[in-house]
Amino acid sequence: MLPIENIISIFFLACLLLSFAIGFASISTFTLISLIKARLLSNDRLHRRRVLLPLSPDVDDRPPFILGFFHPYWHARFNIELDPRTISFESLFRRGWVEESRYPCFTLLGQSLGSLILGWEAINTVIPDLFFDTMGYAFTYPMVKLLTDAKVAAYVHYPTISSDMLKRVQERSAQHNNNPAIARNLVWSFGKLIYYRVFAKVYGLCGSFADITVVNSSWTKGHIDELWQTDATIIYPPCDTNHLNTLPLYGRERLVVSVSQFRPEKDHMLQLRSFRYLLYTYPSFQDGPERVELVLIGSSRNQADEDRITALKDEALHLGIHNNVRFEVNASFPQLVEWLGRAKVGLHTMWNEHFGIGVVEYMAAGLVPVVHNSGGPQMDIVVEYNGKPTGYLASDVLGFGNALYTALSLPDAAYREIAENARAAASDKFSELEFREAMLRSLRRSIDG
């Protein structure tokens, strides 16, 4: 056995070697980051000139502020007019790295790591003064902060992971994002729970690199504040309330519209089953003067969406309600507005919807919303306004069926009272003007600085 003095000497020597290795790794990493940053900034001078010269001929004398704005939606859906003199669209060709279909397993991790490739392409295209992420790519924030001089702002619509997701896995509850095979297996569920917990820690660390954090609802704020250890500002997404407010409340038809993408979490199956409960509990709603029709309006992005639409049509046939259900796939904005101007009730069944812009559109257009009693719709949207109701909340087939019956059975005067109050709430809280002013207040310190 070695003398105690030798053991102590070996221990201190090991600590010294470890410290040296850590120091060497830290210096090497810092040097590498500095070299990459210097190369990026050097190349960016040419990139900025290429981007800015067509917009501002005096770019060398008065360099403008560049806001790098990344967003998945544009003109066709929201009817937004853009000034081409102030905007340059820079194409990113590595979008495939963040597509869900690319990662059948470990989807959250795959998309998050894929976003680093997309983010790297973005900052190699041009480095903005403010990197404004609105797509949820939090893993890019440390890279942008360490390799550029840009500030980072985040407008979070939905946390990549949440305590609700962890709870569902812990409870072994099968959902669209928790495979039934995993939910049934104790070992796999435990492994997935560990994976989710580790991912949540890393996601929170990356999110903490944001200089400005804005969220779209009280529900999202609760999760982001917990994960990112921040105090996010709530700014509700904008709705074209001015245009939708012009739709008349008189002459509405007995139509129930549902506006949402055909994604699994939107739970269109719950809509069909609730509508069946309504029709079979109140047979007069099936035909004749009291006939009611459900109109499902949404976009189809890919083959998976097409398969879901086919499954929904088959389910409507199986439930015996196909004669009262209509599908409007990839409807244009004018077509959407037309349906909103004809219908009386708007239906939304997603559990824990982060916000629910479609619900706001219902209210602005004069529909009575019937929505899930959770998330943004329950906390921020379908709440009392001026001490009066703005719609109805439900959680299951029975609740939605009864709420639909109540909304459709309202006398015209009672319907208009609720619709007018809901419209006033939407205009007051969710207008484009309110959004613009609130967002500029949040970004002002970066833009002015």
Q: What is the mean pLDDT of the chain?
A: 85
Structurally, the chain folds into a number of domains equal to 2
Tell me if 331 sits within 8 A of 363, measured CB to CB. Answer: no
In a domain, 30, yes or no: no
Domain extent for 61 = 35-238+434-448
**Does residue 440 share a domain with residue 413?**
no
**Does residue 201 share a domain with residue 299?**
no
In a domain, 227, yes or no: yes
Q: Give the residue among 113, 133, 118, 144 at the shortest CA–CA distance from 41.
A: 144
Residue 240, pLDDT score: 77
**Does residue 438 share a domain with residue 418?**
no
**Does residue 96 share a domain with residue 208?**
yes
In a domain, 408, yes or no: yes
C-alpha–C-alpha distance, residues 159 and 112, integer Å: 12
In a domain, 129, yes or no: yes
DSSP string for 202-214: HHHHHHTT-SEEE
Terminal-to-terminal C-alpha distance of the chain = 66
In a domain, 135, yes or no: yes
Tell me if 246 sits within 8 A of 427, measured CB to CB. Answer: no
DSSP string for 63-93: PPP-EEEE-S--HHHH-----TTS------S
Q: The CATH number of the domain where 273 resides is what?
A: 3.40.50.2000
**Does residue 189 share a domain with residue 63?**
yes
Residue 74, pLDDT score: 47
**Does residue 86 share a domain with residue 48?**
yes
Q: The CATH number of the domain where 105 resides is what?
A: 3.40.50
Edge-to-edge order in the sheet of strand 325-329: 325-329, 293-298, 255-259, 345-348, 368-372, 392-394
Residue 179, pLDDT score: 63
Residue 419: pLDDT over 60: yes
**Does residue 166 share a domain with residue 265?**
no
In a domain, 410, yes or no: yes
Q: Which amino acid is at 307?
A: D
In a domain, 25, yes or no: no
Residue 96: pLDDT over 70: yes
Helices in 320-382 by DSSP H: which ranges?
333-342, 357-365, 375-376
Confidence bin at 328 (pLDDT 50/70/90):
very high
Token code pair at residue 125: 């295209």
**Does residue 265 share a domain with residue 174?**
no
**Does residue 84 share a domain with residue 120?**
yes
DSSP string for 89-134: ----S-GGGG-GGG-SSSHHHHHHHHHHHHHHHHHHH---SEEEE-
The stretch 227-239 carries a mean pLDDT of 91
**Does residue 148 share a domain with residue 274?**
no
Tell me if 430 sits within 8 A of 236, measured CB to CB. Answer: yes
**Three-state DSSP state, 394:** strand
Instruction: Answer yes or no: pTM beyond 0.85.
Output: no
Tell me if 188 sits within 8 A of 174, measured CB to CB. Answer: no
In a domain, 163, yes or no: yes
**Does residue 277 share a domain with residue 165?**
no
The stretch 181-207 carries a mean pLDDT of 83
